[in-house]
A = this chain, B = another copy of it.
């Protein structure tokens, strides 16, 4: 493995992160929070020059990264980002404990949105801005990871993404990672500008609009408001956030296609159709459960149901209501949505719609084999046959995901937590959702967990975010022997 090259990439990443710390410093100036500026300046003046020096010293060391180096780099990136990003929280004294600060920052960069804060609005605006910015930066990282890097590494069915743009056509995303990244970030930036503008039209300040846009597009869920998006009574604002949460849960390659005017590719995309169908069905079912019980109007029921369905399905975790108090069937539907997740190549977490579609198709195919044992029944996605080894890979992924869920629930339960809290905490962290039911409901926090559970969950958020294998492969003997 080319450790120098890995460290060079990490140095660039750290430079980027401390570079972005200039943003909360600007916010601090605006809001007169001069006390927190030092908390941001320290990592900038310590980490910045060190990383730059390392890059300069190793400037002649070139080469290419092997697949194995790729795995190590991805995991180290998120660890380094969370460690560096946590520094201002600790130094400012607002989250003095290292455990809590690391948890909160890992939750940010993994776009989970689980928080240990119990009095969010008590924090300085600049720190909350940084907290939301970690989402936005993490979301950027995830898009590049899932669209450009994981297909190359061949993780958990992401080979599908390679197959998605077949043939030597202009349609194909450029194979060069840096160029792919630029296109995707351009789209991400465009959506950011669009949502921020719309939220400001809806009456939000630039600060509120930006932080909520960060949380939305990264499917993160951090809000500087204690009541989350529920802070804003405006139906317009709630609907804008709903639409952009949904947009963030779509494969970003499709936006690229959209820009090229390739509407047919989108209409043929199985995942986006199922994704929208699941959203629509869940919204109607939940609204049906809410109507007449939680809300009086049909429109109101649909709006609250749609918001929460989009929030959980895309693994954002925003709330406009305390859904843990909703009628039982609405809760169970949301709980079921926690198993689904966004689309592959989006900022959404979870198992992902495409994997679930593939396995359901595989399940139904088995029935065809029972009637025609010698028949050949392929699984089709986007009008194309999916290779058997990809289905294999997806089955292995989903099963490991479920196994990790159960293990995590048991670990959480050792802290004396009930079944609902234990399992939804597992789902909400491994799936990068944030809130759940029980003691981690939408109006609760992760503050009460003992330190060992917070550290464990920090790792689980990272494992879930990096599609499990990327992290777990590092602890196999074969990886270090190979």
Contacts and interface: CB of A to CB of B under 8 A. Distances in A.
Interface string A37-73: 0000000000000000000000000000001100100
Interface string A359-374: 1101111111111110
A333 B371 contact: no
Contacts of A336: 406, 409-410
A416 B360 contact: no
A479 B418 contact: no
Residue among A71, A329, A400, A469 with most chain B CB within 10 A: A329
A259 interface: no
Contact of A372 (B329, B392, B413, B478): B478
A365 B396 contact: yes
A392 B328 contact: no
Copies of this chain, count: 2
Interface stretch (A109-117, A130-138, A148-156): A148-156
A364 B364 CA distance: 25
B367 A469 contact: yes
A318 interface: no
A99 interface: no
B416 A437 contact: no
A23 interface: no
Query: Size range of the interface on A?
Result: 35 or more
A397 to B, nearest CB: 7
A355 to B, nearest CB: 10
Given A388-B392, A476-B371, A418 B331 contact: yes
Interface string A300-336: 0000000000000000000000000001110111011
A26 interface: no
Given A154-B373, A406-B336, A473 B367 contact: yes
B413 A369 contact: no
B469 A400 contact: no
A406 B362 CA distance: 18
A417 B327 CA distance: 9
A367 B331 contact: no
Given A392-B362, A437-B419, A413 B370 contact: no
A197 interface: no
A368 B409 contact: no
Interface string A326-354: 01110111011001000000000000000
Contacts of A418: 328, 331
A482 B371 contact: yes
Given A362-B395, A362-B396, A335 B419 contact: yes
Interface string A395-431: 1111110110010011011101111101100000000
A91 interface: no
Interface in A454-471: 469
Nearest to A324: B419
A367 B396 CA distance: 10
